[in-house]
Structure 1
Amino acid sequence: MKILYTNFHAGDGGGHTTYILSLAAALAGRHRVTVAAPKSSRLYASAQLLAGVEVIALEFRNRLGAMTGSGWRLRQLIARERFDIVHVNGSADHRIVMLATLGLKRTRPRIVFTKHNDLPVSGLSTWLKGKLGTDSVICVSDYTRRRLAKTVYDTKVVWVVHHGVDLGRFAPVRSEVVARLRSRWREAVPRDALVLGSIAGTDCNKGWLNMVAAVALLPAAQRERIRIVVAGRLPDALQCARVDALGMTDHVIFTGVLSDVRPLVAALDVGFVLSQRETLSFACREMMAMGKPVIVSDSGGLPENVEAGVNGWIVAPHEHEHLAQLLARLLGNRLEITLAGMAARARSVAQFSLQTFVERTEAVYQECLVRIPSLAGSGSVAEWKVQRNSG
């Protein structure tokens, strides 16, 4: 197959970027993969490092002039390359792909749309994208699938494909390595501290301030035995003021953006993702794959990652008192944390593999092409079928 991935994010891109890079890297060995993204994006820079992946700089903006220019460039690219699949991942790139493919016949690719967020599905633009620019839909969680019920996308073939994690890259590390990583923090983290951490970012909707507020409720003796580590952009002035008002400045460590989160995760006791709006969370699954139990909010698709009380814990959003009670219990029961961490890794191996994620996504592409045969005539689909059958 010839596959084109698109995304509109000009900066980091968060989970969208991780999603596309994971698929592109895994599929480039057996398909012809192209990524189109803004030149200023992490996706553009990172995809250039992937063997066998072609990367094209393309802006996906909502201004009419920008949309026209990008749409024309994309239309020329599609007509020339004769892609079998265009996999769109955001509202802006989805809209431009729709415009770029209007009226195409022999060179029109099949369009697969992944619904990453839980934003409302409404409006004329969304209806047009659903009717004119979508052949198959991927939801990243059962929660997301429910959000699409009775919308324009519900009339399409809709799949649920959960995120996968590279279980070799995200794996538990030896205890002596953990001790060495913690020693780097010296006086910032007491030797017997319970280290709680999030790699989900510092945006307000990620809910990390709820963890800070919960720890602040603990008695001073317990509070001194906890440190919170948050990776992502450094907090803004309002966020810092909130931490200070809670009396927690000395208990929270901000790492800034990390090129590799694994050393941080290895040094944690417990991970957390307390997002107010989250459809699944790569961050949650990466921490669990490294053998860290996670505390998640009962919000969106987050509970789909965790079996409560076995490999993590689920708390109601903004229930600071209940979260504080859980932390007090964990402070006195390190065995519970250890066992939950082992169970988190076991669940990851059983359900979160990158291979399963890639194969299920690949099956979506193939089903779409069989159901709606492409006239592009690239030959790559037929060749891939022969390779699959002979293998």
Structure 2
Amino acid sequence: MKIVFYIWSLGTGGAEIHTIGLARDLILAGFDVTLVVHAQAADSSLVIDDRLRVVSVGGGGFHDILGWRRAVRTLNALGADRLVCVNQSAALVGTLSRYFRRRKVVFIFHSTILDRLSEKLKLTVLGRISKGFTTIFCSANQRAYWHAKGLDGPAATIRNGVDTDYFSPPSPQDICAARKAAGIGEGCIVLSLIAAFRPEKNHSALIRVARRLVDAGYEIRVLLVGDGPTRGNIRALVETLGLTDHVEFAGKQTDVRPFLRLTDVAVLPSFTETFSLAALEAMACGIPMVMSDVGGANEMVENGVNGALFTLGDDDAFFHALSRYMDREACRRAGTRARALVERKFTIGRMVEDYVAFLRNRHL
């Protein structure tokens, strides 16, 4: 079976990482897979399987109509059994291809809250023609949200999964050695936020709450792993609040596992998430998650069991959620349950099985 993935660009966001990993795993499952990239070359940190054919359209931005035409010609020429469009821009252009008339377009939708008017307009158009393609949502909450807003055509929910061999709990000896090498004391609680520095990731909330934790007498270290446009602002906030001795900027990393090895509690205070791969990776490593209750967060985190959820914008609730895990033994207990949940429900193998079954079902 021949599958063509069509994605607008290849940065290092969750949708791009998910697409490349899924394409690789479908090749291993016996599918013939081609990846068509509309606008942007792959980020150098992305690892693309040599067996995956990558075709570049060389298009410009969304308003480059000539780029649309080149994309449609490219897609039509590939003669796939299914065209899988990743996110809104690709889906709109994909509906102009011959696959749409043959009801062979699949739209994988990774977003929930859309801030930009242009993205909302794209979804309005897609909603009006959504009976003509099948949408794959990454979260039950996301599916319900968009169904209520008119994206109510044929749909399936396939939650993200992670490689539980690659992301696995380190041994106590490895943890001890890593903390010793990093100069982290036995009583220190390490909080990590692994995310690009962008406004929606809401790093400032963690910094504000870290100040409160320090004032309450807790010994903490905050690891910020990633890079991006808001990094300078967050660094300035750290200095303003007198937290330079408590916060480490680790930069962009191709392998986050050394930082997870140091982590007692993983944190994600985002304004918007759908079904966070970073959260699943941390949980697979036996780390409890403290997250804002947005998107599919409550589908992976059970309050007080394998982590904690807090209401977005409520720093008091965020502080109390983290306060639960200012004891390393509490972190270990919750982390064990987090790992068990991922093994039961959110493995990469389970996700690929669901995609294989979906793609081979000619009635969807």
TM-score w.r.t. length of structure 2: 0.89
Return the alpha-carbon distance in structure 2 between the equivalents of residues 303 and 327 of structure 1.
Answer: 16
Q: Assess if the C-alpha contact under 8 Å between 2:35 and 2:54 holds in 1.
A: yes
Show the 5 A alignment for 1:59-98: 59=58, 61-64=60-63, 66-68=64-66, 70-98=67-95
Q: Find the residue that maps to 1:249 and give its secondary structure.
A: coil
The correspondence for 2:259, drawn from 241, 260, 264, is 264
Return the alpha-carbon distance in structure 1 between the equivalents of residues 285 and 293 of structure 2.
Answer: 22
CA shift digits 1:219-252 (9 cap, x unpaired)? 54724x1011011105533222222222222211
Residue 354 (structure 2) aligns with: 360
Q: Assess if the C-alpha contact under 8 Å between 1:308 and 1:314 holds in 2.
A: yes
- 1:151 shift after superposition: 4.0
CA shift digits 1:33-87 (9 cap, x unpaired)? 111224522399532xx142111123454454x332x333333333332101111
- 1:212 shift after superposition: 1.5
Cα separation, partners in 2 of 1:94 and 1:101, compared to 1, 3 Å: same
Residue 41 (structure 1) aligns with: 42
The alignment status of 1:370 with 2:342, answered yes or no, reads no
Q: For structure 2, list consecutive stretches of 5 or more residues without a partner in the other structure.
A: none
The alignment status of 1:325 with 2:324, answered yes or no, reads no
Cα separation, partners in 2 of 1:43 and 1:67, compared to 1, 3 Å: farther
Counterpart residue identity of residue 19, structure 2: I
- 1:202 shift after superposition: 2.1
Show the 5 A alignment for 1:18-33: 18-29=17-28, 30-33=30-33
The correspondence for 2:245, drawn from 220, 241, 250, is 250
Return the alpha-carbon distance in structure 1 between the equivalents of residues 215 and 290 of structure 2.
Answer: 22
Q: Assess if the C-alpha contact under 8 Å between 1:112 and 1:138 holds in 2.
A: yes
Cα separation, partners in 2 of 1:370 and 1:62, compared to 1, 3 Å: same
Judging by fraction of residues, say which structure has more helix: 1
The alignment status of 1:337 with 2:324, answered yes or no, reads no
Question: Which structure has the bigger radius of gyration?
Answer: 1
CA shift digits 1:349-370 (9 cap, x unpaired)? 0011111111112222223x33
Cα separation, partners in 2 of 1:172 and 1:227, compared to 1, 3 Å: same
Q: Assess if the C-alpha contact under 8 Å between 2:130 and 2:151 holds in 1.
A: no
Q: Assess if the C-alpha contact under 8 Å between 2:162 and 2:280 holds in 1.
A: yes
TM-score w.r.t. length of structure 1: 0.83
Number of residue equivalences: 357
Counterpart residue identity of residue 269, structure 1: D
Residue 7 (structure 2) aligns with: 7
Return the alpha-carbon distance in structure 1 between the equivalents of residues 131 and 36 of structure 2.
Answer: 17
Q: Find the residue that maps to 2:96 and give its secondary structure.
A: helix
**What percentage of residue pairs aligned between the two structures are identical?**
25
Q: For structure 1, list consecutive stretches of 5 or more residues without a partner in the other structure.
A: 372-391
CA shift digits 1:289-335 (9 cap, x unpaired)? 0111110111222121111111111112232223333434432x322
- 1:274 shift after superposition: 1.2
Return the alpha-carbon distance in structure 2 between the equivalents of residues 23 and 149 of structure 1.
Answer: 25
